[in-house]
Structure 1
Amino acid sequence: MISSLSHLNRLSYSKIAAQTLYRMASQAVSGGRYDLVVFGATGYTGQYVVEEVARVARMDQERRGEGAAPLKWALAGRSENKLKDALATARKELGLGLEDVGLILADITNQDSLNKMAAQSTVLINCVGPVSYQVYGEQVVQACIENGASHVDISGEPQFLEGMQLKYNKAAEEAGVYIVGACGYDSIPAEMGLVHMIKNFKGELNSAQMFVKMRGKGGAIHTGTMESAALAIANNAQVARIRRELFPEPLPKPKFKVAKKGLHRNNEVGLWGIPMPTDEPVVYRTQHYRHTVLKERPVQFQQFLGVRSFFQGAGLLLGIAYFVLLCYFSWTRKLLLKYPEVLTAGVFKRSGAKREELKNMGFTATLLGRGWSQALLEGTDEHTQPPDASITVNVSGPDPGYGATSVMMVACAHTILCQKDLIPGRGGVMTPGSAFANTDVINRMTERGMTFTVEDQK
């Protein structure tokens, strides 16, 4: 009986999906696609992304003028009622009509619906949470490549990001679409901060250290972030295998190598640094691209969370070790996913933080660069003297999890839409640093309240 009901539910979904897709096709551009489609629009992060797309669409219209065609965009998810609720919330928060926004039914467990959604998208903004991209990301990437849509996501999971590049880079290139992951807080401050640093450094950069400092006291972190982190830790052993296949030739060992640091005080930023290498795998892929494709010097990169005191840093390190231990064993991981509020003492909650709490939050990422004031002379293989020049770049924005992430993600999607000709190659699975280095994506983010500034250069 249960099996029969399940079969009827699938048939019912297919019928509803077909009706909705037919209805939405009449709202889309005649014979074409929506410019941007937000998939997972009814989720916690998705709601912020929907509102950011609405703001960008309004700014785009104002910039073009009244006679210009407006940005065509749509929300996608498995529940039409929830999509309407997400749109209603956006109307309330922004005071905009949003009458022309489309709705598309698409279920992550139904590949046919994903294909139809991708076929209506020029650029798909994939907010697949709260479940991990490792679990449900690949089928969306596959649908985009097979149906000619570019794709951005906010994954921070090396197994997914590097696995997609290994498996789909050639197919994406042949399809003429760009698949760009890590377009949120993971890993735009690091990636585009380094791009900004390299462009402004008067010489040749050797290394950079990034210290991230949080501002304000926000509420709990949504459990979707926790679930992604838990699965990334659990599957970490697979990353080494994927990376060996993806990059059979590792980066050359630098002559002036920067030693890895643990908990330490950095007097330049006046903070204690806790190793937090979440962006380092993405940066490594970009530096590999710079070395192998652009024939440029790869930059060594280390990432730290900055705190005021040694005791705060030591306490956070113990908390991180506790979380990693919970994620490492399958039985403790199951308990963590079942009782997140209890086992993390309220740090992670299914309800996430409230809007008012997030408004009080922000971040600043300070990147300290070291290099040489003069580039290598032609025909010279390596510098013979240690780095003699420095540069400091600050990247700042609103709350990193949702406010800044939605700004970054939409800016990346809008850049692919408007400046595809400035992205290298004719398609592929790329990092933000390799895809957007020659675009105006930083300007798009600064228009929306973020800052990228060169504070000091010696």
Structure 2
Amino acid sequence: MFQACRTLIKPLQSGQILKMATVAEGQRYDFVVFGATGYTGQYVVEEVSRVAHHDWTERNIPLTWAVAGRSKDKLLNSLATARKETGLNLENVAVILADVADQDSLNRMAAQSTVVINCVGPYQVYGERVVRACIENGSNHVDISGEPQFLEGMQLKYNKAAEKAGVHIVGACGYDSIPAEIGILHMIKNFKGELNSVEMFATVSTRGADSTIHTGTMESAALAIANQSEIGRIRQELFPVPLPKPKFKVAKKGILHKNDKLGLWGIFLPTDEPVVYRTQRYRFDELQQRPIQFQQFFATRSFFQAVGMLLGMVYFAFMCYFGWTRNLLFKYPEIMTAGVFKHAGADREKLKGVKFTATLIGHGWSQQLLAASDQHVDPPDSSLLVTVSGPDPAYAATSLMMVATAMTILREKSLCTGKGGVMTPGVAFANTKLIDRIVERGMTVSVVKE
């Protein structure tokens, strides 16, 4: 495998490789981590290094990879930090110079990768250039965008081109929206009958740990809120025919309500709903399966904490809505958010105490009808509870899930839905072992109660 290897020499222009790596002439790297110097990118670099080490030592399967970004020095510092955090030798990891402002450098980077792990956000600003480079140069692509305008816009604009190129472009591969997507997949697999609806309650336990969020996450969320008007136009063009109305439609919960069975106060926060909806569109349009209704809530056991969070969300939405307030938010994030968002991000050691749990409650029928267009006569009579849990959702769990999706494309490309396309995780990975990979890396996905 390593015959005809080349020594990769320091380049004079971006898009070329800076240091030695063991890759055969004409062969692609399995992964290129783009944006490796960012706060999330650093976690992804460390997770890739651990996964590569595990595959080599436990399975004798090599994994070749590189880091990419604008600055050679910062990329080398990222690898040095990863060596310190993981204790692994990363001397043979290559460094590629690539800049979102230079399309040629993105093309050269994509041409050297089987899967680009894209950590450069906000994706509404920078994501399309990387997606285009991947499609034009035959590379698969995963990202952690939670921005519906970007995700649905890429499907509208590039789905056919990605299918033709035979590459999978899969967004929302982090905390947005893997827990929701794999939770529903696991529920479908274990539900004895047919699902009608799923409610998801997400809780985060800090126990004195640092819950500060990096400003990159803030900027992505702010732009998603600011550009809400675009999503209607995109969806009308992407899905001109609405889904059929279910006979047993689940009533929309209030913006703040209590689930007595779980003992949780739920705050309506539909960040994953657009992704889940696209998955359900595929299930109905392409697989002729009944679409599942979905509602999502951020939850806490304290009413007063829930009210405080709700007021904070309203304040943040207000700050994002107007251009002048949004500029203040971006310029003075720590002041305008009372320290919730910081340029420096959270303290890494303190983040280790943060945990999340997503509890999904499914309702449906014990019997399954033959056609998705058929309607049940009686109301749902069965339920199932599934939990998805893991470490700090913003960074540790997000990097874990993102790398797991990239590994799934790399190792199970033939099992990923279709030959390619722009799709959701719930579509792309429905027939793969993604859940097994995530569990192997430390998360849990469990059926709690039938």
Task: Give TM class, smaller chain.
Answer: over 0.9
- Where does residue 73 of structure 2 map in the other structure? 81
Equivalent residue for 1:29?
24
Deviation per CA, 1:274-304, whole angstroms, max 9, x where unpaired? Answer: 0010000000000000000011010000000
Given the alignment, which residue of 104, 108, 119 partners 1:127? 119
What are the ranges of 5 or more consecutive residues in structure 1 without an aligned counterpart? 1-13
- SS of 1:17's partner is coil
TM-score (normalised: structure 1): 0.93
Which one-letter code corresponds to 2:390 in the other structure? G
Structure 1 counterpart of 2:12, one-letter code: I
DSSP 3-state at the match of 2:414: helix
Partner residue of 2:144?
A: 154
- Deviation, 1:32, is 1.1
Change (3 A) 1:258 1:101: same
Deviation of 1:218 (Å): 2.3
CA pair 377-87 structure 1, distance change in 2 beyond 3 A: closer
1:219 Cα deviation from its structure 2 partner: 3.3
Kindly tell me: are residues 375 and 115 of structure 1, through their superposed partners in 2, closer, same or farther at Cα, counting changes over 3 Å? Answer: same
Question: Structure 1 pair 281/174, CA: closer, same or farther in 2 (3 Å)?
Answer: same
Cα separation, 2, equivalents of 1:15 and 1:361: 41
Say if 1:294 and 1:104 are closer, same or farther in 2 by CA, change over 3 A: same
Match of 2:438 among 418, 436, 445: 445
Q: Deviations over 1:135-191 (max 9, x none)?
A: 000000000000000000000000000000000000000000000000000000001
* CA positional deviation for 1:24: 5.4
CA–CA separation in structure 2 for the residues paired with 1:373 and 1:346: 49
Q: Are 1:173 and 2:169 matched, yes or no? A: no
C-alpha distance in 2, partners of 1:310/1:87?
44
Q: How many residues align?
A: 438
Asked whether 1:16 is paired with 2:29, we answer no
Alignment partner for residue 53 of structure 1, among 31, 48, 52? 48
Q: Deviations over 1:59-86 (max 9, x none)?
A: 1112323xx5x11001001111111110
Normalised TM-score (structure 2): 0.95
Q: CA RMSD for the aligned pairs? A: 1.5
Counterpart of 2:308 in structure 1 is 315
Change (3 A) 1:378 1:208: closer
Selected match of 1:241 from 228, 233, 236: 233
Cα distance 1:341–1:380, how it changes in 2: closer, same or farther (>3 A)? closer
CA distance in 1, matches of 2:281, 2:404: 24
Match of 1:338 in 2: 331
Deviation at 1:26, TM superposition (A): 6.8
- Kindly report which structure 2 residues correspond to 1:111-122, keeping only aligned pairs within 5 A, or say none: 111-122=103-114
Q: Tell me if the contact between 1:29 and 1:72 (Cα under 8 Å) persists in the aligned partners.
A: no
Whole-angstrom CA distance in 1 between matches of 2:373 and 2:342: 55
Q: Partner residue of 2:5?
A: none
> Which amino acid in the other structure matches residue 30 of structure 2?
D
Helix, strand or coil: the match of 2:418? coil
CA distance in 2, matches of 1:379, 1:355: 47
SS at match of 1:305: strand
- How far apart are 1:311 and its partner, in Å? 1.9
Residue 222 (structure 1) aligned with residue 205 (structure 2): no
Distance 1:74 1:42 in 2: 12
Aligned-partner Cα distance in 2 for 1:23–1:255: 60
SS of the aligned residue for 2:362 comes to strand
Deviation at 1:21, TM superposition (A): 1.3
Q: Can you list the C-alpha shifts for 1:178-224, whole angstroms capped at 9, x where unaligned?
A: 00000000000001110000011000000000000111232311011
State how far apart, in whole Å, the 2-side matches of 1:361 and 1:265 are: 24
Distance change (3 Å), C-alpha of 1:48 and 1:380: closer
Q: Take 2:373 and 2:181, find their aligned partners in 1: how far apart are those partners? A: 28
Higher helix share: 1
Distance 2:390 2:431 in 1: 22
Which stretches of structure 1, 4 residues or more, deviate above 4 A after TM superposition? 22-27, 377-380
Secondary structure of the structure 2 residue equivalent to 1:439 = coil
The verdict on how the C-alpha distance between 1:24 and 1:293 changes in structure 2, with shifts beyond 3 A counting, is farther
Aligned to 1:3: none
Deviation at 1:27, TM superposition (A): 4.4
Q: Does 1:424 align with 2:420?
A: no
Residue by residue over 1:331-385, the C-alpha shift from the partner in whole angstroms, topping out at 9 and shown as x without a partner, is 1111111011111111111111011111000100000000001111569811000
Q: Hey, what's the Cα distance between the residues in 1 that align with 2:372 and 2:19?
A: 60
**Secondary structure, counterpart of 2:338 in structure 1:** coil
Q: Which residue number in structure 1 is paired with residue 247 of structure 2?
A: 255
Structure-1 residue corresponding to 2:203: 213
Secondary structure of the residue that 1:21 maps to in structure 2? coil
Which runs of 5 or more residues in structure 2 are unaligned?
1-9
CA distance in 1, matches of 2:417, 2:84: 40
Structure 1 partner of 2:129: 139
User: How big is the shift at 1:318?
Assistant: 1.1
Task: Report if the CA contact (8 A) 2:17-2:97 is conserved.
Answer: no
Offset, 1:25: 8.5
